[in-house]
Amino acid sequence: MIGKRIVANLLFYYPEQMDDLESAIDRALSDGCQVLVGGYSLNLIASRRRVPSVLISAGREAVEQAIDEAIKLVHVIRQEREKNELFKITLQLSEDGIVYVDNNGRITIANERAKRLAKTPEDLLEQQVQQVLPFLSSYWQAVLQSLKQVTNDICKNGNEVFSVNCYPVSVENQAAGVLFFFRNVTDVMR
């Protein structure tokens, strides 16, 4: 839609591309518009056609506000990158195996310790928790359904004993997944 009626005698015409500007002006004039309002190109064409027009330009305040917003955005992006790096370092330095399993049972975050505890040469990412960490599968289902955390639970996986902590992750009260922290405590239990 190129024109939109806002008030009784006020219409807006939005050309899709710069090449459409002439045809938008033609439509505006055929619709009975008496004054055109727009940027430099519109005013240049209107002047050639001897049609009254008003130039809208970005004033100093608008430019300064845009620059201020851009600077704020750069700071926010840098802070998020810093948090992301801190998260990566913390994830890799943890003595616990850490995995995040989404609501489809797929592992989307896993540290190296989790991979070693799973005793698999494969990357855990994008794998189904039931296949690569089956001892966490029942926790995943229970925590996802109840949205209640489980802490300091002990479970067996074959001959090994694990301490497991599970935390539900929800977004707008909808289950998004489960964050697991687990460690092998077989030697401690003997």
Question: Helix, strand, or coil here: 104?
Answer: coil
Q: 97 with 111: CB under 8 angstroms?
A: yes
Nearest of 122, 112, 99 to residue 177 by alpha carbon: 99
Scan for tokens 């056609």, then name that residue: 49
Of 45, 75, 93, the domain-final residue:
93
Number of domains forming the structure of the chain? 3
pLDDT tens digits, 21-46:
889 899 988 988 878 888 888 889 98
Q: Is 111 in the same domain as 183?
A: yes
Average pLDDT over every residue of 106-131: 91
Q: Is 158 in the same domain as 134?
A: yes
Q: Is 14 in the same domain as 70?
A: no
Helices (H), 49-173: 60-93, 112-118, 129-132, 134-146
Q: Is 103 in the same domain as 160?
A: yes
Q: Is 105 in the same domain as 175?
A: yes
Distance of CA 108 to the CA centre of its chain: 15
Cα separation, 142 vs 110, in Å, equals: 20
What spatial distance separates the first Cα and last Cα of the chain, rounded to whole Å?
75
Q: Is 154 in the same domain as 172?
A: yes
Cα separation, 143 vs 169, in Å, equals: 9
Of 47, 77, 93, the domain-final residue:
93
Q: What is the pLDDT of residue 88?
A: 92
pLDDT winner (highest mean) among 22-26, 52-56, 58-62: 22-26
Cα separation, 71 vs 153, in Å, equals: 47
Q: Is 12 in the same domain as 50?
A: yes
Q: Is 20 in the same domain as 83?
A: no
Domain CATH for 172: 3.30.450.20
Q: Is 126 in the same domain as 67?
A: no
The domain in which residue 79 lies consists of 62-93
Average pLDDT over every residue of 133-159: 94
Q: 106 with 127: CB under 8 angstroms?
A: yes
Nearest of 181, 177, 174, 175 to residue 108 by alpha carbon: 177
Radius of gyration of the chain (CA): 30
Q: Is 35 in the same domain as 106?
A: no
pLDDT tens digits, 94-115:
999 999 999 999 999 999 999 9
What pTM does this model have?
A: 0.61
Average pLDDT over every residue of 113-132: 90
Nearest of 135, 131, 128 to residue 177 by alpha carbon: 128
Q: Is 129 in the same domain as 168?
A: yes
